[in-house]
A and B are shown apart, each in its own frame.
Chain A
Amino acid sequence: MGDVTALPRVGVTGGGADPFATGGFQVDLDRAQTVRCAEVVRRRFDGRFAIDAFGADPQLQDLLAPIVHGVVRVSVTGAEHIPTDGPGLFVSNRGLGVLEPAALSVAVRNESCRRLRVIGATDLPILGDLARKFGSFAAYPGDLAALLRAGHLAALPLASTWLRSGGGVPPTELLVAVLGYPVIPVAIRPGGPFGLPIMPWRVTFGTPIVVGELRERDPLSAAELAEAVRAAVQNLA
């Protein structure tokens, strides 16, 4: 376990080729912005907009955000644990796994004005491409590592625990890629009676956990991190 305040943004401060650079199109790929629908449409026609190497389109995300915020309401506890700058991985519980990532994205955006990238894009045509445009990406350790190296926030839902409580099984093979980065356990619970998602979702952020060193690929450390984060999510839920 360690301190999360002084973690380097490897790949960004290191002067590397930032896969998230915007080519001077005035788009912040980390911070949420306000956009006008007409401008977004115009830029789609003349091609003058920024995407990142995963295919995410931040302007489309900003355009859709008010609608999602209207549908998915959240009440947040422990917002001080959300990194204000630099990389971080949120590991959360999930039931069916459809609305929880949306609730987490809304909570992070409300509290820190930062964008959240959710692991779990499918390889299916159209659906996979749409998911990537709105910030999702496929569950590959290399992709997750690249995202964190560039200083962004990502979310990793644990295995589904529908009709059960607590945290699901953590994907150890993915956690190998996040050694040395802050991992923030998150509990997401529906606010309505009998777990119905009719009231604001209750999102609780726990204390960040750091295991291992940056760029370390040690399966044992990853297994330790998996157990630690699963226990932390279970305690919060």
Chain B
Amino acid sequence: MRVLITGMGGELGTRVAQLLEARSDVTEIVGVDFVPPRRRLRRSEFHRIDPLDREKLTGFVTEFAPEAVAHFGIYEPGSRLSPNAASRYTRACAIAALGGAARAGRLQRIALRSGLQVYGRGRGRPGVPDEDAPVAPTTPFGRSLLAVETLAVDLGRRYDLPVAALRMATIAGSHMPSPLGRVLRLPAVPVPALADPAFQLLHQDDAARAMVASLLLDVDGPINVVGPGAASVWQAVRLGGRIPVPVAGPLWSAAAHAVELAGAPAPKHVIELLTRGSAGDGSKAGDVLGLGDLRSTLDVCTELYEWATVTALRPDVPNVEAVRG
């Protein structure tokens, strides 16, 4: 199987490449992104192509003619790009990579990273939506994800391909660049003054495993992938020993600016998670993808705070171990 991984430079894309490298039935793995992979890859081939260079990306993908696409070219606002740039990159990557792959004529399946943000939050929406719940995103990131899903499903229909849309909970981990993780790691974290909503997380390794499983099992349709259990916002802040700062109503806008000044940009979907929670029914993932041992949300939340403490190296102390001690 010839697999194309878009967004291979990210933590998830790199991890998916590593998992696919371990499989003998995957003959060729080629990845594209505008940044290089984050880990060492043995037999994967990486091409540094900016998704905004649509002509070059389409040409490359068409020439490679993949049989399967693992689409991680979804750029979360506030993760590595600003909200506007993230939306532009996400759209450009989906159009160029998926369109090029479909037109090449050998494509058999698409698996793409989506998110629970496509369901939206707030009044009139279920608290724990399953895959049959109506999609009505309430944030720019949710709308961006839904646009990619729609494009992929249209392609799937036109070319008769199975399209697995993995609607993942917010992906987090100790080494994952995540806006939510950065906000929660601040010494003082804004929390809703009048509520304590529940949210779910997904560990980065589990997200990669879900993607590989959906590629290999020929899954079609949306699937929620969430870490078992849940955490509340106040609880998550206390779990990390941080100080909760109650915020209500219009003060959230000021709080978003304050955390950004403190080094943790909080795009709208992160503020929505903090104020309205984020959850989904992940039972189908267990039945269809066979993922029964996902890390729980509380474990992921705990791991967020196990970020290794930065140790300053002093020139007069040559032994690193001595500094650690």
Residue numbers of A with Cβ under 8 A of B are 10-11, 14-25, 44-55, 123, 125-126, 128-129, 132-133, 137-138, 140-143, 145-146, 149-150, 217
Give the complex CA separation of A4 and B282 in angstroms.
25
Asked whether, in the complex, the Cβ of B231 is within 8 Å of the Cβ of A51, the reply is yes
Also in contact, A55 and B298, with CB within 8 A (given A16-B284, A16-B285, A17-B227): no
Minimum CB–CB distance from A24 to chain B (whole Å) comes to 8
Asked whether, in the complex, the Cβ of A52 is within 8 Å of the Cβ of B230, the reply is yes
Give the complex CA separation of A46 and B196 in angstroms.
15
User: Which one, A49, A52, A129, contacts B195 given CB within 8 A?
Assistant: A129
Contact with A along B117-161 (1 / 0, CB 8 A): 000000101111110110000000000000000000000000000
Asked whether, in the complex, the Cβ of A19 is within 8 Å of the Cβ of B229, the reply is yes
Give the complex CA separation of A142 and B196 in angstroms.
21
Asked whether, in the complex, the Cβ of A53 is within 8 Å of the Cβ of B130, the reply is no
Asked whether, in the complex, the Cβ of A143 is within 8 Å of the Cβ of B285, the reply is no
Q: Chain B contact residues (Cβ within 8 angstroms of A): what range?
A: 35 or more
Residue numbers of B with Cβ under 8 A of A are 123, 125-130, 132-133, 194-198, 200, 225-232, 234-240, 277, 279-287, 290-294, 296-299, 302
Also in contact, A21 and B285, with CB within 8 A (given A53-B127, A55-B196, A55-B277): no
Asked whether, in the complex, the Cβ of A49 is within 8 Å of the Cβ of B128, the reply is no
User: Which one, A14, A15, A142, contacts B281 given CB within 8 A?
Assistant: A142
Closest A-chain residue to B224, C-beta based? A17
Give the complex CA separation of A48 and B290 in angstroms.
29
> Besides the contacts A19-B228, A22-B298, A54-B127, what 15 more A-B pairs have beta carbons closer than 8 Å?
A16-B283, A16-B291, A17-B283, A18-B228, A18-B283, A19-B200, A20-B228, A21-B297, A22-B229, A47-B238, A50-B298, A51-B232, A53-B198, A55-B198, A142-B281
Minimum CB–CB distance from B229 to chain A (whole Å) comes to 4
